Structure formats: C-alpha cells, structure tokens
Amino acid sequence: MSEIRFLIARHGETEYNKKGLMQGRGIDAPLNEKGIQQAKKLASYLQKYETTLLVSSSKKRAIETAGYYSENSGLPLIKSPALDEMDFGDFEGRPYDDVITELADIDQAWRRGDIETKIPGGESPLEVYNRANEEISAIIYKQGKGIITIVVHGRLMRILFAEWLGYGIKNMHLIQHENGAVNQFVYKNGVFNPVYLNKTTHLNGL
C-alpha cells in the first residue's frame, strides 16, 4: 500500500472551552470569535498541502473549523459521527472545577490501564478508540493514498494518538493538544509515523 499523509487538527475555541465547561459528544457548541480566527488561520496553513479528502466529526465546532478550509480549497466536507468527541455523560456542561474530584478518580483508573472504565452516563476510552479507529481504518482502506485532513476533538486525539504512538491508551494524558493545532502522521504498512505533533505556529498573533 502507498503511504497516506494525515493532517489531524483540533477544532477552534468555543465558549465552553473559554469558560472551562466540560464539552463532550453531547455538547454541540459553535465556535466563538477566537475559534473562528483560529479556524481561518488553520485553513490558510492547510492550503500548502494538496488534501484529497476532508473529514470532520459531526459536531458544529469541528464542522465550522473544517468549513473554512473547505471553502478555501473547494473540497467537500465529509461529516462522521464516529469521530465525535468522547461522551462525558453526566459531566457534560458542568464546570471542570465541579467535577475535578470525580474525574480524577476515573483518570487514575485509566492510568492504571482500566480503559474500559466509563464516565458516568458516558463512554470509556476503549469504546472511543474502537469507534474512531474503525472509521480511520475504513478511510485508509477506501483511499489507499493521498493526503487526508481531519478535524476532530482533544480527548479523541489523545486516545487515538496514544495508541498509534505506542504509549497505550492508558498514557493518553501525555498527548498535548490546543484549539486549532494540527498534527501530521504518515501511515504506511500499518504504522502511524509522526511528523509533528500539536503544531501551533500558524496561530501566532491570536
């Protein structure tokens, strides 16, 4: 199989991000003004690549972020619910500070390797990995080559990247991500090789 280059970006900022509110699969917030500026700068940066397929999650914040690049490039945008953010269940919409104790206990379980532990009313990291990685695998099988740009979410990226990089999902906390940042991987012979991670230089000035 020929190599496939992946450009995987996190969506721009929303008011939930700005205010420190838990934002997961059940929250469908749009970009705020800063997020729009991040999306525009990301779109400009991505113009240097000849993307052959553009995909986002089905959430507004990802669709809007990818939309600026879609408009610039003329590429149609494919929206995939399988690439939505982790379902944070009972924690969604609540201030991070209000759930930090409960979330810390769950996070410790994940770090011990209990990646089937679910957020109350939500998903486990393993469930998120399985649905998202299956979708990425289907894209790889269908495309076979080229440059694929994907706009998704922070926790989803942590889960995928930790496994792809060989850290294991339990070490997803090691993965850094910023709103509007982009990551590049080259996929060949079943392996995702990182080119760069959490690149934010295109956002300078914001």
- The catalytic residues are 11, 85
Of 112, 122, 126, 130, residue with least CA distance to 171:
112
Residue with tokens 């590429």: 75
Return d(Cα 36, Cα 34) in angstroms, integer. Answer: 5
Helix (H, G, I), strand (E, B) or coil at 15: helix
Residues 6 or more apart in contact with residue 17 via CB below 8 angstroms: 23, 32, 35, 179
Structure tokens at 132: 């998202």
If you write DSSP's letter for every residue of 110-146 in order, what string do you get?
A: HHTT-TTPPPTTS--HHHHHHHHHHHHHHHHHHH-SE
- Please report, in angstroms and rounded to a whole number, the separation of the first and last CA atoms in the chain: 40
Helix (H) / strand (E) containing 71: helix 60-73
